[in-house]
Chain A
């Protein structure tokens, strides 16, 4: 299994992220539109995908590092049931504090042109896809944090 790198690819032209409504494990509805004004990481994943599992702890560390900022992580599970994911979460070394959403028919993944798992996109505060990463990443990396701080600064949202 390759080491997880931290490289995110900046899109030459930002793309408007398609809106979606998805439910979490408790049936609560989430809308991407409601995150406008925040820097958002959307991570498409599944429990059977080894690199997806490996990057979750680094996402949690990143989430904790920016917990007081205009920043959010939404982990979008592909084609699995709430029961299956709930059981899986118990096996992780960390308990993710960011929302786990369910994309049961993979329609949201398709709307973001996700070809393989994991795929991660980073949205600016205007709801545009500005960075993309295919394959597992170490999100708890200074370079990833710098990118997020720069996006927060660009929007005029102060970052500590």
Chain B
């Protein structure tokens, strides 16, 4: 088909195109409206930001709710090994920790009121849809004590009641291999009510540092 005959066909179909365009515009308007509403709901459910560190290539996720912010940061097995080795912890313990999928976790009370959380109520959901409890700091510390180690730091505290301005940082561990996908269901209590949020599409750090 030549360029011109093509133009003629286009001209012949202009009316239909116009009608189609109007229908499409209306449909797009509705899609935009639905999308806007879903965005409003997402903000209500938790505004999630994903960030890739240009220097390390590692990913972090931050979710913001009224009164609460939660951030999860991929940690490389090498970094985990370095953290525990530098504390002089036994090689077996270091190896166990480095075999976990660990996220650096920052949880912060951004409200002007009391806010609390309990890791025992949190769950990670694997790709098969099954929900699993998160191993708590108390469970880790007990395991370390059974190995004769009195170290009790690094893991995100089990439960805390935060006053305004309070926040915590620590490791969240899941027994999954590098690059695994998972969702995290987290809960908190604020203004006398229990709240639940889900961080979807989390990914464990790769075995090696990604290309940045």
Binary interface profile of A, 102-146, with partner B (CB < 8 Å = 1, else 0)? Answer: 000110000000011100000000000000111111000000000
Residues on B with beta carbons closer than 8 Å to the beta carbon of A79: 87, 150-153
In the assembled complex, the Cα of A135 lies from the Cα of B166 at a distance in Å of 6
> Given A48-B154, A134-B162 in contact, is the A116-B168 Cβ separation under 8 Å?
yes
* B166-A106 in contact (CB<8A): no
> Given A80-B87, A116-B168 in contact, is the A2-B162 Cβ separation under 8 Å?
no
Kindly state whether residue B140 has any CB partner on chain A within 8 Å: no
Kindly state whether residue B106 has any CB partner on chain A within 8 Å: yes
Kindly state whether residue A56 has any CB partner on chain B within 8 Å: no
* A7-B150 in contact (CB<8A): no
In the assembled complex, the Cα of A80 lies from the Cα of B83 at a distance in Å of 12
* B106-A1 in contact (CB<8A): yes
Residues on A with beta carbons closer than 8 Å to the beta carbon of B168: 115-116, 134-135
* Residue of B83, B87, B154, B167 touching A2 (CB-CB under 8 A): B167
In the assembled complex, the Cα of A50 lies from the Cα of B153 at a distance in Å of 13
Residues on B with beta carbons closer than 8 Å to the beta carbon of A2: 69, 106, 108, 167
Binary interface profile of B, 130-152, with partner A (CB < 8 Å = 1, else 0)? Answer: 00000000000000000000111
How close is A125's CB to chain B, nearest CB, in angstroms? 23
Kindly state whether residue B181 has any CB partner on chain A within 8 Å: no
How close is B208's CB to chain A, nearest CB, in angstroms? 22
Residues of A within 8 A of B (CB-CB), count: 28
* B164-A105 in contact (CB<8A): no
* B165-A115 in contact (CB<8A): no
* B167-A134 in contact (CB<8A): yes
How close is B143's CB to chain A, nearest CB, in angstroms? 16
How close is B16's CB to chain A, nearest CB, in angstroms? 57
Residues on B with beta carbons closer than 8 Å to the beta carbon of A135: 108, 165-169
Kindly state whether residue A46 has any CB partner on chain B within 8 Å: yes
Residues on B with beta carbons closer than 8 Å to the beta carbon of A9: 163-166
Residues on A with beta carbons closer than 8 Å to the beta carbon of B86: 48, 84
* Residue of A80, A105, A116 touching B156 (CB-CB under 8 A): A116
B residues in contact (CB < 8 Å) with A: 69, 83, 86-88, 106, 108, 150-154, 156-158, 160, 162-170
Known: A48-B87, A79-B87, A134-B167; 12 extra A-B contacts, CB below 8 A, are A2-B108, A2-B167, A7-B163, A7-B165, A8-B165, A106-B153, A115-B158, A116-B157, A116-B170, A117-B153, A133-B165, A136-B167
